[in-house]
Structure 1
């Protein structure tokens, strides 16, 4: 939907109508992005995708850091990491500063495939978010987050 020629504001019903048309198109486009052949057998879910995105964009981190970002228990994050590690997608190495901790990263052999797969979405989000002010970006993210919570409450 182009913003050219639209009034600067919408009433709530018009905004809802627009979103009810837009959201299925967005989800449909996201679902049509093909999972790379090398990753198809992994049955990746949304949490896997988020985990891979964090590691790709923010670099290696511990299981506890991943758990905090994914908003899941460390045991859940550990299960996700273990699953992807066994498949060769992730590497786990000892933390040089604390040998009890493990640092998780994307395996070098998997990095190009994952980077190519996830980069398109990041480029699109960058194109959309860069023109906004930091406050507008915060409001956009807060609104999506509030919508997710509201849908969950009504389910």
Structure 2
């Protein structure tokens, strides 16, 4: 697992994005928007497990950089929809899409049951980390 994380951290940031000094906190937000499409601030906050105000600040930063844009929701003008700008979509796709392509290649030979086992195991690992954070004195086998 440390090698996988280390390799992911070494993915080359496209030249046109290097000047923005994007932080790890921006990457998850960008990945959700890239792979799942435009969404409201509250939905992003729920996925990132942070406060909507935190997402609003990040979106504001990325909007000023020309990476994201905010538009009113046509169905509910009180909501704002966040999306990646057309001008930066190709660079973000080239960068973050590398991980998605690698996952597709790694998971392709697996059966549906094997994929479910693998993704379930990763989810269990994440839950165990959260449990450990919330209860650091608990004993684990």
> If the length of structure 1 is used for normalisation, what is the TM-score?
0.75
* Map of 2:31 onto structure 1: 53
Aligned residues: 133
Q: How far is the alpha carbon of 1:113 from its aligned partner?
A: 0.5
Does 1 or 2 have the higher relative contact order (CA < 8 Å, sep 6+)? 2
Tell me, yes or no, if the aligned pair for 1:47 and 1:70 is still in contact at 8 Å.
Answer: no
Q: Distance in 1 between matches of 2:48 and 2:19?
A: 23
* Map of 1:116 onto structure 2: 94
Query: Which string of whole-angstrom CA distances, capped at 9 and with x for unpartnered residues, describes residues 7-55 of structure 1?
Result: xxxxxxxxxxxxxxxx232222212211122222333233311111111
Match for residue 134 of structure 1 among 92, 112, 123: 112
Q: How far is the alpha carbon of 1:119 from its aligned partner?
A: 1.5
| 1:62–1:31 Cα change, 3 Å | same
* Map of 2:8 onto structure 1: 30
* Map of 2:42 onto structure 1: 64
What secondary structure does 2:87 align onto? coil
Q: Answer yes or no: is 1:89 the counterpart of 2:89.
A: no
Q: Distance in 1 between matches of 2:8 and 2:24?
A: 11
Structure 1 runs (4+) deviating above 3 angstroms are 148-152
What secondary structure does 1:100 align onto? coil
Q: Flag the structure with larger Rg.
A: 1
Match for residue 80 of structure 2 among 85, 89, 102: 102
More moved, 42-51 vs 114-123: 42-51
Tell me, yes or no, if the aligned pair for 1:56 and 1:106 is still in contact at 8 Å.
Answer: yes
Unpaired runs of at least 5, structure 2: 137-141
State the Cα RMSD in Å.
2.0
What secondary structure does 2:109 align onto? coil
